[in-house]
């Protein structure tokens, strides 16, 4: 009996995937080995791309909310 390294759920030795969070133990181990050896180039590019995309999505959502609020305020003032 082991615990998941990500969510600490109880797992069996034969499990290849965590029943709690769904991570694959082989992928987790590969990533941890790469990070421990200093080979993080594969992961840093992915993290940067994800953060950049995420920032744009947040910016668009904030703009839509602001425009919506301004529209409804304008409707109440003019109506």
CA torsion 32-37-40-41 (nearest 10°) is: -140
**Percent helix, percent strand, percent coil in the chain, to nearest 5:** 65, 10, 30
Among 30-34, 48-52, 63-67, 75-79, the least confident range: 48-52
pTM higher than 0.75, yes or no? no
Any residues with CB less than 8 A from the CB of 70 and at least 6 apart, and which?
A: none
pLDDT of residue 78: 75
pLDDT tens-digit map of 35-63: 888 777 766 655 555 556 667 888 999 99
Any idea where the domains of the chain sit in the sequence? 1-39
């Amino acid at each position: 009996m082991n615990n998941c390294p990500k969510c600490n759920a109880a797992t069996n030795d034969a499990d290849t995937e965590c029943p709690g969070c769904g991570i694959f133990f082989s992928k987790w181990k590969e990533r941890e080995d790469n990070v421990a050896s200093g080979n993080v180039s594969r992961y840093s590019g992915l993290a940067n791309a994800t953060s950049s995309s995420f920032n744009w999505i947040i910016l668009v959502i904030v703009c839509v909310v602001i425009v919506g609020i301004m529209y409804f305020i304008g409707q109440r003032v003019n109506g």
